[in-house]
Amino acid sequence: MQVRAAVVSGALAPGAKLPSSRAMASGLGVARGSVVDAYRQLLAEGYVEGRAGAGTFVSADLRGLICTVRRRAARTVKPRPVPAPARALAEFERSAPQMEGQPFTTGRTLIDARTAEIWRKLMHRAARSIGASDLGYTEPGGLIELRRSICDYLRAARAVRCDPQQIVVTAGTQQAVDIAIRVLLSPGDDVWVEDPGYPLTHAQLLLAKTRPHPIPVDPQGIVVETGLRKASRARAVFVTPSHQFPTGVALSMPRRLELLAWARASGAFIVEDDYASEFRYSGPALESLQGLDEDERVIYVGTLNKSLFPGLRIGYAVVPHGLLPAFLGARYLMDRQPPTLSQKVVAEFMQEGYFAAHIRRMRQMYREQRDALAATLKRRASGCLDVAVPDQGMHLIAYLDHHLSDIATETAAQRSGVSVRAISRFYRSAVPRSGLMLGFSGFPRQLVIPAAARLASIVTGLQCSIQR
C-alpha cells in the first residue's frame, strides 16, 4: 500500500527501481514471502514491472499519467459545483431539526422489557433457523406470511379492505410515499397537500418536480372545497385523516366523502398516511378512509416504525389492484425487496399475538405520559399555553399566545435542553398559528414531568417579557 501510494502521488516516479525483495523485507522486519506477495500484487495491478535480471521498477507505462495526478493533487482543491438535485438534497439535510434523545423529540417510541425480551428471542430463533431461502432474492412485495399478518391486522383494527396480495412491504412511510409519487405523478402534475402538513411528504413531492398546492386544514381536516378552487386538476392528494399532522384533528365524515367523491369523479388518487393510528386513547376508533372507498382510489400507507420502533424500517402500503403491478415494479427497481430476516421476526411477532399485546401495553404507557405532560403544562403555564390533548398519536400541540413566536420559544427551550418543534414551520400558505409540537411517546413519566416544568417556566418567562 505504501508503494502504491508513493507511485500514485508521484513520490516514486515511473522507471524508479524498487529495493530488492530481500532488502525491503529486512528493512521492514517482515518475512521475504510477504514482500514477494506484495510485489506480485503490484505487478498484477500494473503499478510495477519486472525486468529479468535487473529487478522491479515502477511501471514506465504510467509516465504522463502520474504527472497529471500529481499536478491535480497539488492544486488547491476548490469546491466543485454540484448538480441542482444534489444542492436541493443537501439543503434538506441541513434543515433537519430536533435534538435526538431529549424530551420532547417527536417520533420516538418506547420498548418495554417484555417486548425487548420477546424480540431478542424471535431474532435468535430466526437466526438459528436461517436457511437457503432466507439468503436469496425473495418477493419484492414482502414475505407472504408478513403480508397476511398485516392484512389481518388492518382488516380488524382499521377496517381496511384488502387481501394479502395488495400489501406491499416497504422500509416505512417514507418509502411508501416515494413509490406512490413515482407511480401516480409526473413532473409538473398538480397535487394537494395539507397546510399545515408533514414536511417530508412536501419535500418528496418537490424533489419529484410535481407542483404541491397547500390546502388549508380547519377543525374538520383538509378543506376540499379550497382544493377544488386552487388546483382543480390535481392528480392526487396526500392526507393524514385519522390524526392530521401536526394539528391532530380527525378528517370529518362529510370531508371524507367529499374527498372520495372528488377522487372518483376526477380520476385522482388519495394517499392516506395512517401514522400512529395504533395509539388511540379515548373516543371511538375512527376507521380508515380506505375502508370507505368503493372505487379503489386510495393508497393506504402505514408503518411499524411507530408501533414498534423507528430503527426497524418496516412499513407497508395497501395498493389498489389496478396499481399493484406498477407499485411492485417501482419497489423492485428501488431496492429490490425488503430484508428477509427482519420480516420473519415481525411476522412471528404478529402471528403469535405479541404485537397486539405490545400495542395494548404501550397505549397505556403513552396515555400516562400524555396525561403527565398535559397536566404539568396546564398546572405550570396556564394562561400562556393552550394544550390540545389528542385522542390519538404520539405528540400533542401546545398553542402559544399569538404574540409569542414559537421559533423563539423553540430556540429558548433548546438552550435549556428541551426539544420542541415550532409548528409555524409546517405551514406553507395558510396563516401560521404559534405553537409547540411535543412528542410524549419516547420518554417515561419521570422524564416528562421535570422537562414539562422546565418548558412551562421558559414559556411563562417569555410571555412576561412580551407583556412588559
Ligand X SMILES: Cc1ncc(COP(=O)(O)O)c(C=O)c1O
Angle between helix 445-467 and 354-381 (nearest 10): 30
Total length of the chain: 468
| 273 is a contact residue toward ligand X (CB under 6 A) | yes
| 310 is a contact residue toward ligand X (CB under 6 A) | yes
| 245 is a contact residue toward ligand X (CB under 6 A) | yes
CA dist 409 and 420 (Å) reads 8
DSSP assignment letter at 395: E
Question: Which range touches ligand X (CB under 6 A), out of 25-33, 153-161, 170-178, 207-215?
Answer: 170-178
Q: How far is the CB of 392 from ligand X (least distance, A)?
A: 12
| 303 is a contact residue toward ligand X (CB under 6 A) | yes
| 97 is a contact residue toward ligand X (CB under 6 A) | no
CA dist 460 and 378 (Å) reads 12
Q: Which is nearer to ligand X, 301 or 462 (CB)?
A: 301
Among 59, 305, 340, 343, binds ligand X (CB under 6 A): 305
Q: Which is nearer to ligand X, 201 or 226 (CB)?
A: 201
Residue 337 has which C-alpha cell? 425487496
Element (H, E) at 228: helix 224-230
Question: Which range touches ligand X (CB under 6 A), out of 167-175, 264-272, 322-330, 352-360?
Answer: 167-175
| 247 is a contact residue toward ligand X (CB under 6 A) | no
Contacts of ligand X in 102-161 (CB under 6 A):
107
Q: How far is the CB of 184 from ligand X (least distance, A)?
A: 17
Residue 341 has which C-alpha cell? 430476516
Residue 58 CB contacts under 8 Å (≥ 6 apart), including other chains: 7, 12, 13, 14, 15, 16, 18, 47, 48
| 460 is a contact residue toward ligand X (CB under 6 A) | no
Using CB under 6 A as the criterion, what x/- string covers residues 184-203 for binding ligand X? --------------x-----
Q: Which residue is nearest to ligand X (CB)?
A: 172
Q: Which is nearer to ligand X, 39 or 275 (CB)?
A: 275
CA dist 190 and 395 (Å) reads 30
Question: Which range touches ligand X (CB under 6 A), out of 63-71, 86-94, 305-313, 379-387?
Answer: 305-313
Residue 363 has which C-alpha cell? 397505549
Angle between helix 21-28 and 32-45 (nearest 10): 120
| 238 is a contact residue toward ligand X (CB under 6 A) | no
CA dist 217 and 431 (Å) reads 11
For residue 236, the one-letter residue type is A
* Cis? peptide before 196, omega within 30° of 0: yes
Q: How far is the CB of 387 from ligand X (least distance, A)?
A: 20
Residue 375 has which C-alpha cell? 397536566
Q: How far is the CB of 249 from ligand X (least distance, A)?
A: 13
> Please, are residues 315 and 343 in contact by the beta-carbon 8 Å criterion?
no
| 315 is a contact residue toward ligand X (CB under 6 A) | yes
| 278 is a contact residue toward ligand X (CB under 6 A) | no
Closest CA to 318 of 105, 444, 151: 151
- The binding site for ligand X (CB under 6 A) comprises 107, 172-174, 198, 240, 245, 273, 275, 303, 305-306, 310, 315
